[in-house]
């Protein structure tokens, strides 16, 4: 009997430790229920992963996340109306997303963090650094944008007529797997679309105000022009710039890019070296 009690206690301790290191849940922030996951068991500065527009944790970070967890704690989340996170009345904005992420970290009682975001998530990372500098240690915006002229010619001209069928099937399927509601899928798509239609330039001074060390990453055939990524690196004091061969998402093997792992191994090594640098 005594042995059985000891075994039960040990199993409870092990289970509790695993839950502390690898867990998921929902947090009430600013009128939505935001889904998050925590991976990895390392102490020290966590890195927060922010997915792209129309995406989920899995579609953006299927390959990158497991490469980061051996070295640090990773907090991944889903933004308003995406994946498992609920929607709210009103539009999506990068500023609101930044405030939602900040509120999530406050709820989790997390101090400073590093932030890595892809596509719309990269733009959200920039807004977090602008609006919540006290939360930020370092940032890695991947294919982020802060001016309309940073997107390839024709992007905005075609946006108003875009319909749900132009959304990559892998993203539609991923959303419906997590939230099997086609009406919510359409709402998310329309809000993502309207966000870009309504997008207005941020000022150069906004980027100059960022004090956190930054590494800007994009691809040479990205939706974001290489010239725009270079401009961002010039605006943010001391920022580093990485331009890789490929298309939007291929740097991290985002599933909608359709390139498999892409350059994710290279990016993971560069990101880890950058985040560890004192």
What does the pLDDT average to over 201-209? 98
The pLDDT-based confidence of 41 (bands split at 50, 70, 90) is confident
- Domain spans of the chain, in order of start: 32-276
Q: What is the pLDDT of residue 22?
A: 77
Q: What is the pLDDT of residue 11?
A: 36
Residue 18 confidence (pLDDT) above 60: no
Q: What is the pLDDT of residue 8?
A: 33
Residue 103 confidence (pLDDT) above 70: yes
pTM for the full predicted model: 0.91
Burial-class residue 262 by CB neighbours within 10 Å (0-12, 13-18, 19+): buried
Q: Average model confidence (pLDDT) for the chain?
A: 92
| Residue 155: partners with Cβ closer than 8 Å, 6 or more residues away | 196, 223
Q: What is the pLDDT of residue 128?
A: 98
Question: What are 211-260's pLDDT values in tens digits?
Answer: 999 999 999 999 999 999 999 999 999 999 999 999 999 999 999 999 99
Question: What are 157-170's pLDDT values in tens digits?
Answer: 999 999 999 999 99
Share of the chain above pLDDT 90, in %: 87
Superfamily of domain 32-276: Alpha/Beta hydrolase fold, catalytic domain (3.40.50.1820)
Residue 14 tokens read as: 């092990």
> Which of 17-21, 94-98, 231-235, 262-266 is predicted least confidently?
17-21
Q: What is the pLDDT of residue 111?
A: 86
The pLDDT-based confidence of 78 (bands split at 50, 70, 90) is very high
Question: What are 116-160's pLDDT values in tens digits?
Answer: 999 999 999 999 999 999 999 999 999 999 999 999 999 999 999
The pLDDT-based confidence of 278 (bands split at 50, 70, 90) is confident
């Amino acid at each position: 009997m005594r042995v059985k009690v000891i075994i039960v206690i040990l199993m409870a301790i092990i289970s509790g430790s695993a839950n502390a290191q690898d867990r998921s849940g929902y947090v009430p922030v600013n009128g939505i229920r935001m889904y998050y996951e925590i991976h990895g068991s390392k102490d020290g500065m966590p890195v927060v992963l922010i997915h792209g527009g129309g995406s989920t944790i899995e579609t953006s970070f299927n390959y990158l996340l497991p490469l980061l967890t051996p070295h640090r704690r990773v907090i991944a989340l889903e933004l308003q109306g995406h994946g498992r996170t609920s929607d709210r009345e009103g539009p999506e904005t990068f500023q609101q997303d930044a405030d939602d992420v900040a509120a999530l970290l406050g709820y989790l009682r997390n101090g400073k963090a590093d932030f890595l975001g892809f596509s719309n998530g990269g733009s959200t990372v920039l807004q977090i650094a602008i609006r919540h500098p006290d939360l930020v240690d370092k940032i890695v915006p991947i294919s982020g944008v802060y001016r309309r002229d940073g997107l390839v010619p024709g992007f905005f001209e075609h946006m108003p007529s875009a319909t749900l069928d132009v959304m990559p099937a892998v993203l539609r399927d991923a959303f419906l797997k997590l939230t099997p509601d086609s009406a919510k899928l359409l709402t998310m798509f329309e809000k993502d679309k309207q966000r870009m239609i309504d997008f207005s330039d941020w000022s150069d001074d906004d980027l100059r105000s960022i004090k956190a060390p930054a590494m800007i990453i994009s691809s040479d055939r990205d939706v974001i022009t290489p010239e725009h990524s270079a401009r961002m690196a010039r605006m943010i004091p001391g920022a580093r710039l990485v331009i890789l061969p490929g298309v939007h998402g291929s740097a991290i093997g985002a599933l909608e890019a359709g390139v498999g792992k892409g350059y994710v191994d290279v990016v993971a090594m560069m990101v880890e070296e950058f985040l560890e640098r004192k």
